[in-house]
Amino acid sequence: MIDIDQANKTAVERMMAARPILRRIALARDVIPDMRDNLLLHAGPPITWERASGPMRGSIVGALIFEGLADDWESAVALVTSGKIDLEPCHEHNAVGPMAGVTSPSMQVYVVENVTHGNLAYSNLNEGYGKVLRYGAYSAEVIEKLRWMNTTFADLLNQALAAMDGLDIRALLAESLHMGDEGHNRNKAGSILYATKLAPFIVKADGSAVEKGKVLQFLGDNALSVLNPVMAACKAMADAGHGVEGSTIMTVMARNGTDLGIRVSGLGDQWFTGPVGQPDGLYFAGFSADDASGDIGDSTITETAGIGAFAMATAPAIVTFISGTPELALNTTLEMYEITEAEHTMFTIPALGFRGTPTGVDIRKVVELGIRPQINTGIAHKDPGVGQVGAGLVLPPMNVFEDALIAFANRYL
Amino acid sequence: MIDIDQANKTAVERMMAARPILRRIALARDVIPDMRDNLLLHAGPPITWERASGPMRGSIVGALIFEGLADDWESAVALVTSGKIDLEPCHEHNAVGPMAGVTSPSMQVYVVENVTHGNLAYSNLNEGYGKVLRYGAYSAEVIEKLRWMNTTFADLLNQALAAMDGLDIRALLAESLHMGDEGHNRNKAGSILYATKLAPFIVKADGSAVEKGKVLQFLGDNALSVLNPVMAACKAMADAGHGVEGSTIMTVMARNGTDLGIRVSGLGDQWFTGPVGQPDGLYFAGFSADDASGDIGDSTITETAGIGAFAMATAPAIVTFISGTPELALNTTLEMYEITEAEHTMFTIPALGFRGTPTGVDIRKVVELGIRPQINTGIAHKDPGVGQVGAGLVLPPMNVFEDALIAFANRYL
Average pLDDT, 10 consecutive residues per value, chain A (413 residues)? 95 98 98 98 98 97 98 97 97 97 98 98 94 92 96 98 97 98 97 98 97 97 97 98 98 98 98 95 92 95 98 94 90 98 98 97 98 94 88 96 98 94
Q: Which residues contact A235 (CB under 8 A, 6 or more apart)?
A: A91, A94, A95, A96, A112, A121, A122, A123, A298, A301
Classified as helix, coil or strand, B226 is coil
Same domain, B130 and B90: yes
Confidence of residue B324 (pLDDT cuts 50, 70, 90): confident
Cβ atoms within 10 Å, residue A152: 16
* Among B200, B230, B260, residue at a domain's last position: B230
**Per the domain annotation, does A5 fall within a domain?**
no
Residues of B with CB under 8 A from a CB of A: 175, 178-181, 188-189, 192-193, 195-197, 199-204, 209-210, 212-214, 216-217, 219-220, 316-317, 319-320, 325-326, 350-354
Range of the domain at A285: 243-412
Cβ contact, residue pair A209, B200, below 8 Å: no
Answer yes or no: do A220 and B204 touch at CB < 8 A.
no
Give the one of A181, A204, A214 whose C-beta lies nearest to B209's C-beta. A204
pLDDT per residue over B380-400, tens digit each? 999 988 888 999 999 999 999
Q: Give the residue from A156, A178, A187 with the most B CB atoms within 10 Å of its CB, the best one to mutate.
A: A178
Q: Looking at the structure, do residues A269 and A325 belong to the same domain, yes or no?
A: yes
> Is B224 in the same domain as B290?
no
CA triplet B320, B323, B324: central angle to 5 degrees? 105
Task: Report the residue from A180, A202, A325 with minimal CB separation from B178.
Answer: A180
Chain A nearest C-alpha distance from B318 (Å) = 9
Query: Are residues A248 and A143 located together in one domain of the fold?
Result: no
CATH number of the domain residue B40 falls in? 3.90.1710.10
Residues B193, B309, single domain; the answer is no
The reported pLDDT for the residue numbered A129 is: 87
Of B195, B203, B204, Cβ closest to residue A196: B195
Q: Out of B177, B207, B230, pick the residue that ends a domain.
A: B230
Burial of B155 (0-12, 13-18, 19+ CB in 10 A): middle
In this structure, are residues A234 and A177 in contact, taking their beta carbons and an 8 Å threshold? Answer: no
A interface residues, B as partner, C-beta within 8 Å:
175, 178-181, 188-189, 192-193, 195-197, 199-204, 209-210, 212-214, 216-217, 219-220, 316-317, 319-320, 325-326, 350-354
Within a domain: A55: yes
Judging contacts by C-beta atoms under 8 Å, the chain B residues touching residue A353 are 325-326
| Per-residue confidence (pLDDT) for residue B323, from 0 to 100 | 84
Helix/strand/coil (H/E/C) assignment for every residue in B147-193 = HHHHHHHHHHHHHHHHHHCCEEHHHHHHHHHHHCCCCCCCCHHHHHH
Reported ipTM = 0.94
Per-residue pLDDT of B38-51, as tens digits, reads: 999 999 999 999 99
Tens digits of residue pLDDT in B208-257: 999 999 999 999 999 999 999 999 999 999 999 999 999 999 999 999 99
Q: Which of B180, B197, B214 sits opposite A178 (nearest CB)?
A: B180
Whether A371 and A253 share a structural domain: yes
- A305 and A408 part of one domain: yes
Tell me: do B132 and B193 sit in the same domain. yes
Which CATH number is A277's domain given? 3.90.1700.10
In a domain, A235, yes or no: no
CB pair distance less than 8 Å for B179 and A201: no
Please work out, in degrees rounded to the nearest 5, the angle formed at the alpha carbon of residue A56 by the alpha carbons of A53 and A62: 140
Which chain A residues contact residue B199 at CB under 8 A? 195-196, 199, 203, 216, 220
Indicate whether B221 and B248 sit together in one domain: no
CA distance A357 to chain B (A): 15
User: Has residue A186 been placed in a domain?
Assistant: yes
Q: Do A214 and B202 touch (CB under 8 A)?
A: no
Contact B202 A202 (CB under 8 A): no
The shortest C-alpha distance from A356 to chain B (Å) reads 13
Which of B230, B207, B209, B214 has its CA nearest to residue B22?
B230
The span from the CA of B85 to the CA of B75, in Å, is 13
How far apart are the C-alpha atoms of A111 and A329, rounded to whole Å?
32
Do B93 and B116 sit in the same domain of this protein? yes
pTM of the model: 0.96
Boundary residue ending a domain (B230, B263, B288): B230
If you measure CA to CA, which chain B residue comes closest to A320? B350
When divided into structural domains, chain A yields a total of 2
Q: Is there a contact between B200 and A193 if contact means CB atoms under 8 Å apart?
A: no
Whether residue B153 is found in the same domain as residue B225:
yes
What is the pLDDT at residue A335?
98
| Torsions phi, psi for A45 (to 5 deg) | -75, 175
Supply the pLDDT for residue B320.
86
